[in-house]
Structure 1
């Protein structure tokens, strides 16, 4: 079974942070990256009055999680959607602001473990990397269709790869002979492009390139940028949001969005801070929390996790507009 090999990251900490907002009857949590449903299962088990709406762009994840969470009956609803659609989904499925929101970003255990999906540089597979394999461009489309400048840009921006120009030139040389089709071909290009001395540290040298391609194929950073303000507006006052990131670009976006809400927007020097300028979020973590030693031992995939959380303090003008426009009736 898929779920038997899946260990949800920072499970107890997520429950600890979210539970205070989810104790009232008819509380709703939106798990915007449902995956195989491990976090949702724990929350539904420990909070008997909770309802969970689970989103995922991956139809296979929806199928697996729905089977796993079937014992909870109508307390669980699955929706095939990308998480930046959260406002529309909540409007359609719940009809009111929610008490909790959980995001576990990046590639899922399911996607990593399904070798043929091409997310792993450790196994030979088609160059796909789509989280929803039914739509969109593949990694092969990017590698065979983008010009050299665009390849350099995505490798530098999304992979923070300092040898991006060398790798991009290697891709162009290889595709002149034949279109790239397999992950093993890309791994070989990266190994040849990166100097031997630089390959001695930092794990597999293809890691950053695969990350960059996956982010480009799935539009991950643009989706996250769109999602974060909508996620905050989806929360009821007193509601809580927990987001786990696995690379610095994601974590930086989450940090900025939550910090923005936790700061006063009043001009300096005002004798009284207007209510509309007071912080609308309270940070629940000091910086980004990481996995401890016991978590790392039980779940090596938690090594790069960065968790941030916040609570909704008050409505904003945008929130009030959404309440009247979206939650009418």
Structure 2
């Protein structure tokens, strides 16, 4: 049994929200995990504290120079078990992001243990409905109150929890409409596109707003140099099925290495599909659809797991994929992925991590 970390009791517990009206990111649990860093002490004071406002200097460097990274993962309830899904991958990636922004890395084992204890405290907050989960948001930001462009000397890490409803509202998979962005770019190689950096999302909002006004759900980004090669969707990695082969853009330094992406690639191979990771141009995609080779398109990410794409718009061209219906391969991957996640299917790779009762 691991040593229990410090726990600060709150005076009154919150009333839990109606499970039928959870939405996403609207409600937060009673507690959060807190971890501090100072240059002279390193990471210290790991503890579970009441969820609530935090005090921060108006000169905190995160507010002025953007040193802030985050992660997203989920906890699921199956029978009496609460389970995390591949949390080690998230903590590896948060360290990659921290390294890119010249922020201090965290002991992944310590962080995982802290997360398990936090989720154990809040296990009654994990919703049990179909497709529901407890969303987990770890994030790190610079706290030193000093104006000067250099790495901060102090940081705070928090993990907050939010009960979330089903992405599809309990319905079957709904194909989305994607707008291919040809004016703005998300990232370039050598930048921070491969890291889960807060500023990446701020830079994407203008394009997303424009796409929404035109009636599209998400933006598909092209590369930042030639604006020719497909990279990723606003909140997802992207996959195509061409002549029965699953194809996805190869990681190149400006694409986020999604954990759902990685899992879908591994799962696809286990199910017997051929998978290619390579450069894919938007022109190739349109030509593939014209010739009848493109049968399915889907995105992958923490929120939806797998999201079918029914329409793509690029300039004046608008293409419909698979009659705007969910494809057979997309559905099969979704069913297997969610089945493993929820404990309904076998987990030969040990992706599920059961949260112990401390």
Task: Please indicate the TM-score interval, normalised by the length of the shorter structure.
Answer: under 0.3
Kindly indicate which of the two structures has a greater share of residues assigned to strand: 2
Kindly indicate which of the two structures has a greater share of residues assigned to helix: 1
| TM-score for the superposition, normalised by structure 1 | 0.26
